């Protein structure tokens, strides 16, 4: 189909949204849209949104204000613009978005992306606004077009050395702070056959590293080719057999689903990278119970001991929330203690944000903003020092680096170590998409720098 229209896609939130945006872009490409980075040039604007914390939602509404101005400006030039809100805010707030932001033509929940071209046409023809936030029975992955072998034109798809692959979606764990079970629905695992096919297509277009995504990815329980239910470990071992796949990663995991075979895969499977993002959320058993995490701080440390016994150099990353309702100074001290015990290679930390419809939002003992802010500052200082120390410990080592993109300086490439650290090195652009040994010469808080080892 000839390219006739331009689409501007902006992605908020987690990697799963990045994956979804890619799938939407590819689908729109087969309906004649090419991607643009200039919003003023776009016939179609897609905001793929995140609902996890209030700030993320506010950002969407402030962006919609800008989109309204762009649309008005284009209209003055005789150009029409369609505006789509997709993702988790769409799923959670549906019609409210249309009411608050009349600039939006189509609101589409994350389970209905396969219907986007059809809904765009309908809105264009009828001139009406559409809200589609059901959880349809038909399975969206089966109805989206196959991944394109040639990479797209967007900033992510052209750097295809590393790609995301959603293997599992939704969550049945119902942590009391979290909107995910409501926005992404019940846990669903894609079949092994479907994932093997998609991986083969990604590899054919040059992808070397695949990060398997799921809200509760280690709860993966997809149908195997033998008709049996396969675990994540089994899926990983199968994907590792595919020629051209050099590295596998997965995120995000729940401590309660770290099965024995997955831990064993970290010991045995060479292509599974020594990096684990395993959110713990709090170090206080009282708060962990109130969060419905169903494990204690000690359970988490014991689990880490087992994982580190299987893969001693594994780099651990976690998520932590400060200021969950009822969190006292003592609870927070327990979180700091646990973080010292974990020794994180990297981590994400957040102030608790009450989310409408979640049990914790209704609790009375909400923690004042100023207390949350002070705790976050203290926690982040500790986490930053751990990350800096971990990075420094890599200086002098030679690490295999997958080069993903050009650096800011001429002649420089940027890639990732096995431990997911960013690594800068002087390198010819032919090395993009390849895994090359790099001797690490310097380390900062957020990245490493090195020189390509003489072979």
Question: Which positions touch ligand SF4 (CB under 6 A)?
Answer: 171, 173-175, 178, 180-181, 215-216, 254
Strands 209-213 and 162-166: parallel
Kindly tell me which residue out of 190, 234, 355, 375 binds ligand 5AD, with binding defined by CB under 6 A: 355
Stretch that binds ligand 5AD, among 81-89, 106-114, 120-128, 347-355 (CB under 6 A): 347-355
Sole residue written with tokens 């309908």: 122
Q: What does 53 interact with, of ligand 5AD, ligand SF4, none (CB < 5 to 8 A by kind)? A: ligand 5AD
Considering only 183, 353, 386, 421, the residue that binds ligand 5AD (CB under 6 A) is 353
Task: Give least dist CB 175 to ligand SF4, A.
Answer: 3
Site for ligand 5AD contains 230 (CB under 6 A): no
Burial class (CB within 10 angstroms; exposed 0-12, middle 13-18, buried 19+) of 385: exposed
| 13 vs 415, beta carbon nearer ligand SF4 | 13
Binders of ligand 5AD among 168-187, rule CB under 6 A?
Answer: 177-178
Q: How far apart are CA 439 and CA 184, in angstroms?
A: 42
Q: Is 110 in the site for ligand 5AD (CB under 6 A)?
A: no
Chosen residue from 18, 28, 52, 101 binding ligand 5AD by CB under 6 A: 52
**Encoded tokens for 233:** 């470990």
Q: How far is CA 252 from the centre of its chain?
A: 8
CA dihedral 79, 85, 87, 89 (to 10 degrees): 160
> 103: which 2 tokens?
């600039």
Of the candidates 220, 241, 223, 240, the one whose C-alpha atom is nearest the C-alpha of residue 231 is 220
Q: What is the 3-state secondary structure (H, E, C) of 186-214?
A: CCEECCHHHHHHHHHHHHHCCCCEEEEEC
- Tell me how far, at minimum, the Cβ of 293 lies from ligand SF4, in Å: 8
What string marks each residue from 426 to 445 as x (binds ligand 5AD by CB under 6 A) or -? --------------------
Indicate whether 383 belongs to the interface with ligand 5AD (CB under 6 A): no
386 part of the interface to ligand 5AD, by CB under 6 A: no
Query: Does 321 participate in binding ligand 5AD (rule CB under 6 A)?
Result: yes
Residue 171 CB, nearest distance to ligand SF4 (Å)? 3
Q: Which stretch binds ligand 5AD (CB under 6 A): 91-99, 115-123, 352-360, 424-432?
A: 352-360
User: Closest by alpha carbon to 390, among 446, 339, 349, 431?
Assistant: 446
Q: Binds 171, which of ligand SF4, ligand 5AD, none (CB < 5 to 8 A, cut-off by type)? A: ligand SF4
Q: How far is the CB of 3 from ligand 5AD (least distance, A)?
A: 36
Min. distance of Cβ 167 from ligand SF4 in angstroms?
15
Shortest reach from residue 209's CB to ligand SF4, in Å: 23
Q: How many CB atoms lie within 10 A of CB 441?
A: 12
Element (H, E) at 438: strand 435-443
Nearer to ligand SF4, 115 or 254 (CB): 254
CA distance linking residue 103 with residue 82, whole number of Å: 9
Residues 6+ apart with CB under 8 A from 411: 426, 427, 428
Please count the other Cβ atoms lying within 10 Å of the Cβ belonging to residue 135: 15
Total residues at interface with ligand 5AD (CB under 6 A): 12
Q: Which residue has the tokens 């702070």?
A: 177
Site of interaction with ligand 5AD (CB under 6 A): 52-53, 177-178, 279, 281, 319, 321, 350, 352-353, 355
């Amino acid at each position: 189909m000839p390219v006739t229209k331009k689409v501007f896609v902006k992605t908020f939130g987690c990697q799963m949204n990045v994956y979804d945006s890619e799938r939407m872009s590819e689908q729109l490409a087969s309906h004649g849209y090419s991607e643009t980075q200039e919003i003023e040039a776009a016939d179609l604007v897609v905001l793929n949104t995140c609902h996890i914390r209030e700030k993320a939602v506010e950002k969407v509404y402030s962006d919609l204000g800008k989109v309204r101005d762009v649309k008005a400006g284009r209209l003055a030039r005789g150009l029409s613009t369609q505006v789509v809100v997709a993702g988790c805010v769409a799923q959670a707030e549906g019609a409210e978005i249309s009411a608050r932001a009349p600039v939006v033509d189509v609101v589409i929940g994350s389970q209905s992306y396969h219907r986007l071209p059809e809904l765009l046409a309908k809105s264009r023809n009828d001139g009406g606004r559409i809200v589609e936030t059901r959880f349809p029975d038909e399975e969206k992955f089966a109805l989206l077009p196959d991944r394109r072998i040639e990479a797209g034109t967007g900033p992510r798809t052209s750097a295809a050395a590393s790609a995301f692959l959603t293997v599992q979606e939704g969550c049945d764990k119902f942590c009391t702070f979290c909107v995910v079970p409501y926005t992404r629905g019940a846990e669903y695992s894609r079949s092994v056959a479907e994932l093997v096919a998609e991986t083969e297509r990604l590899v054919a277009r040059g992808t070397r590293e695949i990060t398997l995504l799921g809200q509760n990815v280690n709860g993966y329980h997809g149908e195997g080719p033998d008709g049996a239910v396969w675990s994540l470990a089994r899926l990983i071992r199968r994907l590792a057999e595919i020629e051209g796949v050099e590295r596998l990663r997965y995120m995000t995991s729940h401590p309660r689903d770290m099965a024995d075979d997955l831990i064993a895969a970290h010991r045995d499977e060479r292509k599974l990278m020594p990096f684990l993002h395993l959110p713990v959320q709090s170090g206080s058993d009282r708060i962990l119970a109130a969060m419905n995490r169903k494990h204690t701080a000690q359970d988490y440390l014991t689990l880490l001991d087992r994982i580190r016994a299987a893969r001693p150099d594994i780099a651990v990353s976690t998520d932590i929330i400060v200021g969950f309702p009822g969190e006292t100074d003592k609870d927070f001290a327990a979180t700091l203690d646990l973080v010292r015990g974990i020794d994180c290679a990297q981590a994400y930390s957040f102030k608790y944000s009450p989310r409408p419809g979640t049990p914790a939002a209704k609790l009375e003992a909400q923690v004042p903003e100023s207390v949350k802010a002070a705790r976050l500052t203290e926690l982040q200082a500790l986490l930053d020092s751990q990350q800096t120390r971990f990075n420094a410990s890599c200086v002098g080592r030679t690490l295999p680096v997958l080069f993903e993109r050009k650096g800011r300086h001429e002649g420089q490439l940027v890639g990732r170590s096995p431990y997911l650290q960013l690594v800068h090195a002087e390198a010819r652009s032919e090395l993009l998409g390849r895994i090359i040994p790099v001797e690490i010469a310097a380390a900062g808080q957020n990245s490493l720098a090195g020189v390509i080892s003489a072979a």
